[in-house]
Structure 1
Amino acid sequence: MEPVNFDEAETYEPEDGWRRVSMAGSDQFTFEWFEKPSGHSSPMHDHENEQVCICLSGELTLYTEDDEVTLEQYDSVWLDSWESHRVANEGDDLAVGLDVFAPGRGFDFWTDRVDDD
């Protein structure tokens, strides 16, 4: 067993107010808790990992090249590997979510990322 204390977990803030916390996981799957301020959107991106995004509070809108869905508290969505997407908080309140990735990944996805623009 390998517990992770939330207050002592590895954190990463890709942009001001967009914070991610690495929760317990393995090479097979990882959990990332995140908070996203009102009006914030991640850039459109894809990755080798399948992803499940769960909205814990507020609202999160996920966009793919062909679709969009708004998640409310406890709603979830599955994204296939290499499916381009972005996650936005278009509500007035802070949104909190939990991402599950398989296979697992670390914050190097964001820290080593090179934008295509």
Structure 2
Amino acid sequence: MERVSFDDAETYEPDEGWRRVALAGDDDVSLEWFEKPPGHSSPMHDHENGQVCLVLDGELTIHTETERERLTRYDSVWLDPWESHRVENEGDETAVGLDIFVPGRSFDFWTDRDE
């Protein structure tokens, strides 16, 4: 067993106010807590990982090439590997969520990403 303290976990901020915290995980699966400020959207992107996005507080809108889903507290969505998507906070409050990636990944996805 490997405990990860939230306060000591690796943290990354891809954009101002969009904070991600790496929690428990390994090569098979990883868990990232995040907060997304009002009006913020990640860029449209895809990755080799399947992804579950779970809203813990606030609202998030998940956009794919063909769909748009608005999620509220405790709603979740599954994104297939290589499915293009972006996550947007269209609300007035900071949204908080968890992303689960299968297989696991590190922050290298964002830090080494070509725009």
TM above 0.5: yes
Structure 2 CA distance for aligned equivalents of residues 25 and 114 of structure 1: 25
RMSD over aligned Cα atoms: 0.3
Question: Displacement, 1:72?
Answer: 0.3
Q: Please identify runs of 4+ aligned residues in structure 1 that moved more than 3 A.
A: none
Structure 2 CA distance for aligned equivalents of residues 19 and 86 of structure 1: 16
Corresponding residue SS for 1:93: coil
Question: Displacement, 1:26?
Answer: 1.2
Structure 1 CA distance for aligned equivalents of residues 53 and 12 of structure 2: 18
Corresponding residue SS for 2:92: coil
Aligned length: 115
Question: Which sections of structure 2, spanning at least 5 residues, go unmatched?
Answer: none
* Aligned position for 1:108: 108
1:23 paired with 2:35, answer: no
Structure 2 CA distance for aligned equivalents of residues 45 and 27 of structure 1: 21
Question: Displacement, 1:6?
Answer: 0.1
* Aligned position for 1:81: 81
Measured against aligned partners, the alpha-carbon deviations of 1:76-109 in whole angstroms (never above 9, x if no partner) come to: 0000000000000000000000000000000000
Structure 2 CA distance for aligned equivalents of residues 24 and 63 of structure 1: 27
Structure 2 CA distance for aligned equivalents of residues 70 and 96 of structure 1: 14
Residue type of the alignment partner of 1:47: H
Task: Tell me the TM-score normalized by structure 1.
Answer: 0.98
* Aligned position for 1:67: 67
* Aligned position for 1:47: 47
Measured against aligned partners, the alpha-carbon deviations of 1:43-78 in whole angstroms (never above 9, x if no partner) come to: 000000000000000000000000010110000000
Structure 1 CA distance for aligned equivalents of residues 13 and 26 of structure 2: 21
Structure 1 CA distance for aligned equivalents of residues 78 and 52 of structure 2: 4
Structure 2 CA distance for aligned equivalents of residues 12 and 114 of structure 1: 17
Task: Tell me the TM-score normalized by structure 2.
Answer: 0.99
Structure 2 CA distance for aligned equivalents of residues 39 and 11 of structure 1: 21
Identity of paired residues, percent? 70
Question: Which sections of structure 1, spanning at least 5 residues, go unmatched?
Answer: none
